[in-house]
Structures are given as C-alpha cells and as structure tokens.
Structure 1
Amino acid sequence: MASGSGLIRKGAGLALAGALTGLLTAGCTSSGGGTPPAPATTGAAAPPRASASSAPGGSGDSALPASLTGQRPDWKPCAAPDGGQRPGSDWRCATVTVPLDHAKPDGATIPVALVRKEATDRERRIGSLLFNFGGPGASGVETLPRAAQEYAKLGERYDLVSFDPRGVGRSAGVVCRDDAAQDAAEKTVDPTPDTPAEEAAFLKDNADFAAGCARRSGTVLPHTRTTDTARDLDLIRQVLGDEKLHYFGMSYGTELGAAYAHLFPAGVGRLVLDAVVDPTADTAGHARNQTIGFQRALDNYLKSTGQDPKAGTERIARLLRKLDREPLRVGERRLTEGLATTGIAVTLYGQGNWPLLTQALAEAERGDGTRLLRLADWYNDRDESGHYATQSHSQRAISCADSAERPTAAQARALLPEFRRLSPVFGAYLAWDTAGWCAQWPVKGETTDVDASAPGAAPILVVGTTGDPATPYEGAEKMAKELGDGVGVLVTHKGEGHGAYGTSACATRTVDAYFLDGEVPAYGTTCS
C-alpha cells in the first residue's frame, strides 16, 4: 500500500453500519487484517471499458476452448484464510482455470478461486447468483461467507457464489511490498505534501510501490483489467451451467457488472448494481465526485449532532492541520493527518457508525489518537501484529490497468484550490491521490473512452443512495442513462450509507422481488 492509497477507492460494497461497533463496545481492537467490509478510494480507475465481445454480437458465448468451458468445479470444504476462520460446513470452495490473456485463449492460464453455498430450496432453484463486493480488490471468497446472512432470502432459491477476481487473493493475487516497507511509508510519507521535500518523498514512495508490483507480480499486471474479469465472469457462468448470468455488484462491482453487460448483453440475466460508480467520470472526476460525496455525508453527520456544518467542518480541518504539524503518539506509532482522514472517512460509510466518529474526534482533540488510528488500520487491512493484507495492491493493479490516464503532480496541484473549497477535510487528500495512484505505473492502461451501453440486455436494476459518500447518487443516475433506455432501471434510496441493500427495507424488498420473481420496478422508484 502506497502513500496515495489511503482513502476510499470506490468502496468494498458492504455497508459498514454496525460493522465497527466493536470499536465502541470492546475497546479499540483492530479488525485483524484480511479483507474487511470496508472502503477503498477512487484514484485513476475508469469505469467499464469499451471493448469488442469475444463472440460475434456479444452473445455471451465466448470463443474459448472446450478444455476451459467444459470444466467442472471440484467443490471441497474451504480452507481458512490467513488469520481468519474457516467458513461453515455449508460452504464449498473450488478453482476455475481462466486464460491469462483472453486474446490468447489457448495460452497461459491462471486460477480463479470460487466459493459457493447451494440453494436451500432445491425444487425452486433459479440458478447461481454471483457477487462482487467491490474495492476493486475485495476477496469474494472471504467476504461472502461472512456476509451471507444478509442474503439468506436470496440463498433459498439461488446458489450464492463469489470469487476472488484475477489479481486478487487466491486468484494470482498481486503483491507489491512487505509489511516493513508499508510501515516505513506510514512513518515518512505525507499523502498531502506541503513542501517540495514532502512532494518528492510522496512521488518516490509511489514509484517504489509500482516498481515492487512489477518485480513481484509483473506477469499478471497487464491482465487485471475489468474487461478481463468480465470475460472471466462469462466463463464462470458457463462452468456453473447457467444459461444467463445473475449478478449482484456493489461499488466497484457495479463497474464490473456494467462491463459484463456491455460485452455480453445477451448473457444478462438478473443484474443489480448497488452503490454505483459514475461511468462518465475521468480520474479527476472520480476524485471530485468523492470530495463532494464525503463532504455531503460529513455535513449530514454534523447536522445530526446539532452542529453547523461549516463550523463543524472547520473544527475537523483544524484538527487535521494540527496533526499535519505534530502527529499524535499512539504507543510506538503516530496518528498522522493522512491516517486521521482515513479514520474519519471510514465512519461515514454507515449512519450507525456516526457515534463512533463523535467519540473518536473528541478523543483526538483531547490528545488521544488511538481510536482514529484503529479505524484507519481497519481500512488499511493492518492487524495488531503489524501485518497488512494486500487488497490495496490489487486495487492499484486493477485501477491502473483499466485507465490510460496518468495524472501528474502538476495536475494534482492544479486541483487543490477547487477541491479544498469543496471539502476542507477531504479535498487535498483526494486531489493528491489522483497523482499518487497511477502516475508511475509500469503497465499501460486500457482506455480513457468509456462505453457502458448494453443494447439488447435485459433490464438491470441501478440502485443509488442519496447520502452515499464514496459513490455519490449522481453516478447511479448516469449509469442508468448510459446503460440505455429499457435497460438501466433507476431505484433511489433516500438515506445515508454506501449501498442500499440491507440498509433500506424498501430497497431490499425491491431487489429481492427482482431477483426472486423477476419483478422489474418502475424507473425512478424511490425508497425512504
């Protein structure tokens, strides 16, 4: 994880409401690494790429050899992830082989790890329902078993299936640096540099991170594009024996679902996109959207506590400026401005976490940065022993393979006045993040020209939440439009948090009715 990777790279899809309450009730215990249901920033990742289907007309039947399409997964009890618990007995894991380069389907291959829980009502089984929890870089193999209770109703009639996308976890996961290098970066690199020396250190750290990715994972780096994973999805669909793809994508997973629909419109079954990434935004546009979205969520939090949003924002910005000058000691570590910003942002992912933000800010103002640091550790996948998971490595690999943009430090500096005006708390962080992510990446990105259209596809539910900080509501409106008339069906949740399913009873019922009974709601259906 490099210095520029510390904030909200499109989110991991699961709402954090309730997930962090242990930090309130059980002291400040770290999440223990792994892949928490936590956010991830939007750096230079572009939305679904324009690309020709691997079959004429994008029918959903890919031109792959029978040795791949004829695979039958060998489902076995799942092994426990590092530092984690083994899924329950109802879960089985398997591996599917996919081409490293889909342009060379008879060439080298890589494994893609799957996890599945079979439908409980076998007589009324519809098929498989594949999940992607976002990131990019979230491990579906780890996340779905932990989150399965949220989808219990869907699990009656669907086999619940998820996977580690290529470049993630057990699927040829990208690794870029070790724990010692990350700890060193935490101590020495300022993600919002104020001086030429700080800027040089920031850029050097990102260059070192990129070089480490090339050295350790160079073979897979050119092949971690969202379109590559979309083609993997179609192969997985065939291997699972499904005529159509039924899919639930959250946050970055909405990019992946839209990319699949664009490439394979005839393969679309029932698709839901929740917490939707704006398919029309470039690198600066994604950062601008999140600057607006996180400030909007912060304003809503401040209003809920009876504070004036402008005054409350300045109070927090003042704390961050103080931490920039003099970080708070927390044992042998320090709460820096960057880590505090990450800790604040984490709590805005669900309204249930707002009391935690109140407590963490009050403690930091009294000189105790423990809770904000633990919140940052939760996002940064750092456990109490100092071990970091590698989700952020995968995030960068996927984002930079997708986008051909390579913003410079000069371009980031040019964004600062506007972004600071939009958010005194998050603006500088997100402006600099544009240059910190892909500027010195060793692999060319796919495109800057995005096409999310899916002519001929079945109706796709596009669910946006008005108070979503990481994927602001406007992105859902744009995605529904880009998918095309009769394809994108907008559903609005008037509320807070990153994702509507499981948060809004109305939105959850709407999605369940669509998946289970094929009921397509009216465009513009609104849930409070």
Structure 2
Amino acid sequence: MRFRLALAAAASLALTAPAAPALAAPALAAPAAATSASTASLVFGACPTDIAQSFPALTCATLPVPVDYSRPFGAHLSLLVTKHAAKDPAKRLGSLVLNPGGPGGGGASYAGTLTKTDATGFTRLAPAVLDAYDVIGFDPRGVAHSNAISCTEPTYFGPPQPDPDLRANRDELWKTWAGYADGCAAKAGALLPHLGTGNVARDLDGLRAALGDAKLNYLGFSYGTYLGAVYGKLYPQNVGRMIIDGNIDPTPEDVWYKASLNQATAMQKRFDSYLGWIAQYDNVFHLGKSVAEVRAGWTKALTDFRTNPRDQVGGSELLSTALGMMYTESNWTPFAQAISAYVVNGDDAPLAEFAAPYLGADAEEGLAAFNAVVCSDSVWPRDRATWERDTSEVAKTSQFAWYNVFTSPCHSWSVQSKGRPEITGKDLPGILMFNTVGDPATPYEGALRLHAALPTSVLVTERDSGKHCVFGNSRASVNPAANAIGTKYLLTGELPSADTSVAGHPLPVPTPAAPKVFKATRATPVE
C-alpha cells in the first residue's frame, strides 16, 4: 500500500480544534454530451507548475471520466495524466501505466520519479524500458490534481494526538474520528460513493483506451497491486504485461480492516530487526550491543514523550514516525541518531524535530483520499467492542496496534461498502509479482494469498529483506537481480519459469560521521 503510511503522515496530528464547517464538494465538470473515458483521446502539453519544476521531461494531459459509471454522460471528473515519452520510437512497445500506492498516492509525479536521471546517471527504470515505453502516471480520482477531496482543515487534529495506547484517551479518539467521518460526508459527500477501487479500475481502462493501447501494461506498487488485481477481474481481456510489487491480501471480506491488524504485527517484526541493526553499531549510536538494551532506550524515549509531549510531538507522533521509518532503510541512520541524542545526551530536540508532523493541505487531502477508498472498498466493523477486542489481541505482541488500527474513521463512514470483488485470476495472462519476505506494510503471507488467487502469476521474493517493495528502487536500495527480471519481462513478456528468489539488498552501514539529522516532513512514494 503505501497503505497506512499515507495515514501515518497525516493521522499523527491530534484533535484540539472543532470540526471544520461544511463546505461544498470539489467542483465537478458539466455533463459531457459526447465524451467519455472510453472514447476520449489525450493531448499532451504543459504540466502544472509543481510537476513541471520537478520533472521537466514530463508532459501532461487531462482525461474526462464519469463520476458515476452508471450515468456515463452525466457529470465527470478530469484526471491529470503525465507522460515520459519513449526515447527510441523504433523500439516503442506501447505505454506503461503506473500506480505508486496509497490509496491516495498521486501517480502523476511518480512517472517522473521512476524516469528521472540522478546525479550518477541512474534511473529507477532501466534505460531499455525508457526507450521502449511511454511511462504514464495519473492522479486517481479524488487525488491531488484530479479533483482532490478534503474532509477537514489541516489543523483539525491539532497535535499532539491523544495516545490510543492509553485507555483514557479512547473515548476522545473514537469521537474525533467519528467527527472526521462527518466532515468527509459534509465536504466530499457527492463524490464519496464513487471513489473506490472499482471506479479507479474503470478509469484505468478508460486511460488505456485514450492512450490508444489494445492492452494495458501496468506497474503497480503496494495498494497499486490491489488496483491491478481488481482491474484484472473487470477487464482480463485487456491485461497486457503487469508487474505488481508489495502485494495486498485480497481474500478477507474486511480487506482493509484485516490489513490494519496484520500490518501492525508485521511492523513490530520489522522494528525489532531495526533495533537489532542499531545494536550492531553500538560504536556509532551508543545505545547498547543487544536488542534488549536498544529497546530500553527507545522505550524510555517513548514513555517520556507520552508523559511530557514536546510541543507537537507526543507518543502517537513518535509511533507514527517509527512506523514510517520501517518502509525503507533510507532514514534508519538519522532516526537512530535522534534516539541516541535523547538517550545518551539528554537532548530531545533532534527527536522532537524528526517526529514533528507535517500539517500541509496536501497531507490532509491525501488522508481524505486514503479513507475514501479503504472505508468503502470493503466492510468494516461498526461496533467499538470489536475494534477494541481485536486490537487488544494484536497489542499483546505489537506496540503499533492501537496506533495503526484505532486512528481511523471507518467505523462511522457514511458510505456503506458493496463488498470487495472476488479475485480469481480467470483468463489473465502471465503476471509478475515481487515481495520482500519481511515487508512490514504488505506482509508476505498476504502476497502468497494473492499469488494463489492469480494462477498465472510468478512470484519473485527478495530474501533477507524487510523493505516495502522490490522493483525500481532508488540507487541506495536497488536490487539489480530483481530489476533484471522485471526489465526482461517488460521488454519480452518472458516470465521466470517458476517462482524464484533474489538476495536481499545491503543494509546501510552508519559511521560516527554520518550526516546530520534531517526533518522528514511527509510520507514519500516507494523508494
């Protein structure tokens, strides 16, 4: 998913302000008398400023799609689409459409992330892929440049957030998130019934047609794996080459509720491995040579911040930050330095700075889009007793349980779910799957279940790794063997003959002269 990191970035705020007043839903375009997603053609030109400045090689277009597919000529939305054109027209194989996860992740800019050359000349997608494909990104409906929805003012949660591990705070949290659900219904109610994965998959097929492609070639990460699976359920005849990486378990009736519970367990395993990594470098961090010693230092910091919050940072903010650090190893060293500064030197400023929540409007909009999908895609329990019983059970072994499950509005969501589709894999061509064996966001057991539900898929497992997602990573955590398998498949359609595995990528090696702690301001796309 990037699932739950989207929430961690914004839900690590806290409620002190009243709920925002009701505002109008995002403006919808007038009915389109002769244009629909299935017949539209795309004209690419200039991009919005934020995308153009970061990724000047991209061009942009807008795709009109019906708000309600049962009324194709009614009101419509405009989806932002980006393109990084194939560099060698003679080798062009078509389009490769991306989804970075979330749900609520903006895919328009992600086309730039995967295609932009870094200072060393490295690109996340191989040069041969960039020669052969127009790499296409898009912001899904309700996200970023595609009629972004909003549920509250960015200050609604007003940090520090009440710590859900403390029983005395749970009444307040339950009311807070119920109020948030009311805000979503008031501000985005007209769109909420139409923002689920099924409609995003229909948009995806409209995009395929508008691009002029007979088949959809697709690369989906995290939540994007579920989107890909749903697309395959709806349009198996239109699936071309599909890579899905960091895979969602589609089998439970309550998909996203179960995902929250299972993710809390997997996050704890990953965090324990992080503590072990810190212990290997006691000469750098001075937090001890055993997991128990390092855990004691972390627990000291967490307990202190819970008892005496530092401005915007309390226990929930520290847990949110720790959870976010588990997706990749890119910030392991500075986060460990911040813990060390507190434990060893009594300096709480680096840890407070590191965990300070990001309060931008885009974070609030991302949280709104996230919940609009997960709360209505599948059923959630409506009674508090079930949430508390299930979370209490997971909390016996995971410190992330209460934070990961209880900070959600889905118990009070205004849109009743129609239930999740059954993923059968019927009539699909060969699909390539990637997953790390220790993925904390999309646990490996779920990847195995999706693999079983897609009989034509081949699963590539990154061994001895706990990172979220495998293919197309940055240079710091690239897995060349995985990239070679994915690149070959995209260029030739050839899959490995059977499920296989690749060695894990190296973990960072910190030194006493490691870079200064920096403040992570928001969740970022898969690295």
TM class by smaller structure: 0.7 to 0.9
SS at structure 2 position matched to 1:520: coil
Identity across the alignment (%)? 30
Q: Whole-Å Cα distance in 2 between the matches of residues 263 and 65 of structure 1?
A: 24
Q: Whole-Å Cα distance in 2 between the matches of residues 489 and 90 of structure 1?
A: 33
Q: Whole-Å Cα distance in 2 between the matches of residues 155 and 39 of structure 1?
A: 31
Matches within 5 A, 1:320-469: 320-327=302-309, 329=310, 333-365=311-343, 366-377=345-356, 381-382=358-359, 388-423=363-398, 425-433=399-407, 436-447=408-419, 449-469=420-440
Residue matched to 2:270 = 297
2:486 aligns with one of 500, 504, 511: 511
Assess if the C-alpha contact under 8 Å between 1:9 and 1:40 holds in 2.
no
Q: Whole-Å Cα distance in 2 between the matches of residues 349 and 398 of structure 1?
A: 21
Residue matched to 1:4 = none
Assess if the C-alpha contact under 8 Å between 1:135 and 1:252 holds in 2.
yes
Q: Deviations over 1:210-259 (max 9, x none)?
A: 12212221111110110110011001000000010000000001110011
Q: Root-mean-square deviation (CA), in Å? A: 2.6
- Number of residue pairs the alignment of both structures matches: 456
Q: Whole-Å Cα distance in 1 between the matches of residues 292 and 250 of structure 2?
A: 31
- Change over 3 Å in CA distance of 1:416–1:232 after alignment to 2: closer
Q: Whole-Å Cα distance in 1 between the matches of residues 396 and 165 of structure 2?
A: 17
Q: Whole-Å Cα distance in 1 between the matches of residues 195 and 432 of structure 2?
A: 26
1:71 aligns with one of 34, 40, 45: 40
Q: Deviations over 1:115-160 (max 9, x none)?
A: 1111001101010100000010011112321342312522211001
Matches within 5 A, 1:82-231: 86-148=53-115, 149-153=123-127, 154-182=129-157, 184=158, 186-187=159-160, 189-192=161-164, 194-196=166-168, 198-231=169-202
Q: Whole-Å Cα distance in 2 between the matches of residues 181 and 437 of structure 1?
A: 14
Q: Whole-Å Cα distance in 1 between the matches of residues 500 and 9 of structure 2?
A: 27
- Change over 3 Å in CA distance of 1:407–1:359 after alignment to 2: farther
Residue matched to 1:9 = 3
SS at structure 2 position matched to 1:455: coil
Q: Deviations over 1:378-433 (max 9, x none)?
A: xx6435xx98452111101111121222343222221244222222x312322424
Q: Whole-Å Cα distance in 1 between the matches of residues 214 and 488 of structure 2?
A: 20
Q: Whole-Å Cα distance in 2 between the matches of residues 257 and 371 of structure 1?
A: 40
SS at structure 2 position matched to 1:98: strand
Matches within 5 A, 1:15-54: none
- Structure 1: unaligned runs, 5 residues or longer: 1-6, 13-34, 42-63
Residue matched to 2:458 = 489
- Change over 3 Å in CA distance of 1:399–1:256 after alignment to 2: same
Q: Whole-Å Cα distance in 2 between the matches of residues 178 and 209 of structure 1?
A: 10
Assess if the C-alpha contact under 8 Å between 2:46 and 2:52 holds in 1.
no
- Change over 3 Å in CA distance of 1:200–1:67 after alignment to 2: closer
- Change over 3 Å in CA distance of 1:367–1:338 after alignment to 2: farther
Q: CA deviation at 1:344?
A: 1.1
SS at structure 1 position matched to 2:166: coil
- Change over 3 Å in CA distance of 1:364–1:222 after alignment to 2: farther
Residue matched to 1:22 = none
Q: Whole-Å Cα distance in 2 between the matches of residues 294 and 40 of structure 1?
A: 18
Residue matched to 1:15 = none
SS at structure 1 position matched to 2:81: strand
Q: Whole-Å Cα distance in 2 between the matches of residues 40 and 515 of structure 1?
A: 35
Q: Whole-Å Cα distance in 2 between the matches of residues 445 and 279 of structure 1?
A: 15
Q: CA deviation at 1:452?
A: 1.6
SS at structure 2 position matched to 1:335: coil
1:527 aligns with one of 496, 502, 508: 502
343-352 vs 271-280, greater mean Cα deviation: 343-352
SS at structure 2 position matched to 1:151: coil
Paired amino acid for 1:347: M
Assess if the C-alpha contact under 8 Å between 1:490 and 1:525 holds in 2.
yes
Paired amino acid for 1:297: R
Residue matched to 1:23 = none
Residue matched to 2:510 = none
Higher relative contact order (CA 8 A, sep 6+): 1
Residue matched to 1:16 = none
Residue matched to 1:45 = none
Q: Deviations over 1:10-65 (max 9, x none)?
A: 457xxxxxxxxxxxxxxxxxxxxxx9xx9799xxxxxxxxxxxxxxxxxxxxxx97
- Change over 3 Å in CA distance of 1:388–1:209 after alignment to 2: same
SS at structure 2 position matched to 1:439: helix
Paired amino acid for 1:302: L
Q: Deviations over 1:453-479 (max 9, x none)?
A: 121111111111012111112221111
The answer as to 2:217 corresponding to 1:243 is no
Residue matched to 2:29 = none
Q: Whole-Å Cα distance in 1 between the matches of residues 300 and 316 of structure 2?
A: 14
- Change over 3 Å in CA distance of 1:313–1:473 after alignment to 2: farther
Q: Whole-Å Cα distance in 1 between the matches of residues 163 and 384 of structure 2?
A: 12
